[in-house]
Amino acid sequence: MQPHHGHDHGVGADTEIRPLAVALGLIVAFMVAEVALGIVADSLALLSDAAHMLVDAAALGLSVWAARLARRPPQGGLTFGFRRAEILSAQANGATLLVLGVAIVVEAARRLASPPEVSAPIVVATAAAGAVVNLLALRQVARANRESLNVEGSYQHLLTDLYAFAATVVAGAVVWATGFDRADPIASLAVAGSMLLAAWPLLRRSGRILLEAAPEGLDPAEIGGAMRAHAGVADVHDLHVWEISSGFPALAAHVLVERGEDCHAIRRELERLLQDRFGLDHTTLQVEHTSARLLGISPLRTDRGDR
């Protein structure tokens, strides 16, 4: 076994925490004001914005917690540390976007049938102020590393909230100018649509990692073919390619080499191939001579390399 773990794996969490924490403070402060104003104005668009901001706050709080967990070093039975806490956070963010979007659709349908009277000036002013706050928070989160699904989940929450504020401003202006109260629930439907569209990619990507599917863009068949085509390699089997966390792909395989070949040299060459061609720098290769396998005896030379 020749471990090579001197480099960083995956997406670093240390630069994510401060921007997420600043964004969290901005969102919580404005959310409290928006709830009060939404009740006064009797606006579903404002209350749906506030509900989304509550979920944003929860998502950001979860993201900060997950990023802190991910910084903890591996210990005991947690040989990869808490890196997958970020993936669980992304999964939770996607699920809350989905549930909230469906809930807003249901309430919007009710209000389309029986629209309440909406205080348009309060709606427009509050939504415009919210858009400014949301832009500031979005800018903070954008400074973090969005390759992390944890950060991307929070970013998508805030981005859909920005769409919500824009739709609410338009709805409030329509009600103010024309008295068409149904513009408010119609805007809520647009907000819900943006939530559902943002939820699916988060759930799909985080679900693939939790199911230990091959990372997107990496084809195990292509990787196996490239390894088998390498000089001196007789066969490759038990090939597994998965993702520990965002930006942390890993590979393990059993490699049979021709009789008389240097197992150690071929392992090193395969590691360079996997790193240079496929971006895989965390690999575990068990290498042995094919002659030993064919004869049904224990291999005389076995080399396991873990990069």
Q: What is the pLDDT of residue 3?
A: 40
Structure tokens at 221: 């068949």
pLDDT of the residue at 271: 95
Same domain, 241 and 270: yes
Question: Which pLDDT value is given to residue 160?
Answer: 82
Mean pLDDT of 124-130: 83
Q: Is residue 156 part of a domain?
A: yes
* 76 and 164, same domain (yes or no): yes
The pLDDT tens digits for 269-305 are 999 999 999 999 899 999 988 765 544 544 444 444 4
171/288 same-domain check: no
**Last-in-domain residue among 210, 228, 253:** 210
Q: Among 180, 210, 240, where does a domain finish?
A: 210
Query: Same domain, yes or no, for 66 and 198?
Result: yes
- Number of domains present in the structure of the chain: 2
Same domain as 246, residue 198: no
Asked if 196 and 232 sit in the same domain, the reply is: no
**Final residue of a structural domain among 175, 191, 210:** 210
Q: Which alpha helices (H) appear in the chain, and where do they start and end?
A: 17-41, 44-70, 85-113, 120-143, 149-178, 183-210, 220-228, 263-278, 290-295
215 in any annotated domain: no
- 89 and 143 share one domain: yes
SS (H, E, C) 60-88: HHHHHHHHHHHCCCCECCECCCCCCHHHH
- What value does the mean pLDDT take over residues 132-161? 81
User: How does pLDDT run across 68-102, given as a tens digit for each residue?
Assistant: 777 787 777 777 778 788 888 888 888 888 888 89
What's this model's pTM, rounded to 2 decimal places? 0.70
Residue range of the domain that includes 184? 2-210
Q: How confident is the model at residue 45 (pLDDT cuts 50, 70, 90)?
A: low
The reported pLDDT for the residue numbered 236 is 93
